[in-house]
């Protein structure tokens, strides 16, 4: 792309942001640069989000890989017509929802990614499965770009997202989930009831980490009101394939009105 063209696109983008700011939802598009990658959850610990990691580590989301092993939750597997003694740990039909970034850049690779019971990372439903769009995040880029002032509407341009209820449905209630409410009503999904169990970070704040993102107001993001499309996927000949979204190459559009 030559410079003039780039400038033109840049101006169009600025204009659309202006319109969006004035409430013109038709222009609610953001440009997410095309190089996101998954970093894993362990990277969020020991730096900026220790209490969140510590809290998450003790929740079912941090142990989702375990469920794919033979014999684990045999009763539930039986009930759901899954085979209780099969090894699903390399099965592409399960890994998208039970690990982080499976089939995408930097994400989980069956048979290669290390598994740890002490420091869960890629082998879990990690931070990035709920907090990012389009294949991971660009933490280094937005740290630099925002000068450490993490306003939501600024960092979501780099792939962070705040349409949480929408994002849960990447997995909970997704059409490809084998865990249908018709099998067991406990699989139906109520966001308000469940969101409080995601990471109860308050308990993990202490003298050492209290300077980290504690009750900081980050302002409102655009994605809160205009949920992003969910990256959809399919398994074709034993391999996961992500469906192209409209304008996939660099743009995500909001599903809003």
Which parts of this chain interact with ligand HEC (CB under 6 A)? 41, 44, 49, 52-53, 56, 60-61, 63-64, 67-68, 73, 76-77, 82, 88, 91, 93-94, 96-98, 125-127, 129-131, 152, 164, 167-168, 170-172, 174, 176-179, 187, 191, 194-195, 197-199, 213, 218
Residue 170 CB, shortest distance to ligand HEC, in Å, is 4
- Closer residue to ligand HEC in complex, CB, 131/226: 131
Query: Would you tell me how many other CB atoms lie within 10 Å of the CB of residue 96?
Result: 25
* Backbone angles phi and psi of 235, in degrees to 5: -110, 120
- Closer residue to ligand HEC in complex, CB, 6/105: 105
Residue 11 CB, shortest distance to ligand HEC, in Å, is 30
Residue 180 CB, shortest distance to ligand HEC, in Å, is 10
Q: Say if residue 246 is exposed, middle or buried (CB neighbours under 10 Å; 0-12, 13-18, 19+).
A: exposed
State the DSSP H helix or E strand holding residue 31, giving kind and residue range, or none if neither: strand 29-31
- CA distance linking residue 85 with residue 92, whole number of Å: 17
Residue 47 CB, shortest distance to ligand HEC, in Å, is 10
- Closer residue to ligand HEC in complex, CB, 204/251: 204
- Closer residue to ligand HEC in complex, CB, 2/85: 85
The sign of the dihedral angle between the CA atoms of 168, 254, 96, 35 is negative
Residue 141 CB, shortest distance to ligand HEC, in Å, is 17
Please state the length of the chain: 257
Q: Who contacts 226 (Cβ-Cβ below 8 Å, separation ≥6)? A: 25, 28, 163, 254, 255, 256
- Closer residue to ligand HEC in complex, CB, 7/191: 191
- Closer residue to ligand HEC in complex, CB, 25/73: 73
- CA distance linking residue 28 with residue 26, whole number of Å: 6
Residue 15 CB, shortest distance to ligand HEC, in Å, is 27
Task: With CA atoms as reference, report the closest residue to 174 among 115, 127, 233, 244.
Answer: 233
């Amino acid at each position: 792309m030559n410079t003039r063209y780039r400038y033109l696109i840049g101006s169009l983008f600025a204009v659309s942001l202006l319109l969006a700011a004035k409430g013109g939802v038709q222009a609610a598009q953001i440009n997410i640069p095309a190089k996101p990658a998954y970093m894993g959850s362990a990277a969020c610990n020991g730096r900026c989000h220790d209490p969140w990691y510590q809290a998450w580590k003790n929740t079912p989301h941090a142990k989702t890989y375990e469920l794919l092993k033979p014999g684990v939750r045999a009763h539930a597997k039986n009930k759901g017509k899954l085979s209780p003694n099969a090894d699903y740990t390399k099965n592409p039909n399960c890994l998208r929802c039970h690990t982080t970034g499976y089939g995408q850049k930097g994400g989980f690779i069956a048979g290669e990614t290390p598994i740890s019971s002490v420091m869960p990372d890629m082998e879990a439903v990690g931070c990035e499965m709920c907090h990012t769009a389009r294949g991971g995040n660009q933490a280094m880029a937005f740290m630099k770009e925002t000068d450490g002032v993490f306003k939501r509407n600024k960092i979501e341009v780099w792939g962070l997202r705040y349409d949480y209820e929408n994002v849960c449905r990447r997995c909970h209630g997704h059409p490809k989930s084998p865990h249908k409410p018709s099998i067991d009503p406990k699989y139906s999904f109520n966001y308000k009831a469940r969101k409080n169990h995601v990471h109860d970070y308050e308990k993990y704040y202490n003298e050492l980490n209290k300077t980290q993102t504690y009750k900081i107001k980050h302002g409102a993001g655009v994605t809160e009101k205009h949920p992003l499309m969910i990256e959809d996927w399919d398994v074709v000949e034993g391999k996961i394939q992500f469906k192209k979204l409209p304008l996939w190459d660099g743009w995500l559009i909001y599903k809003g009105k």
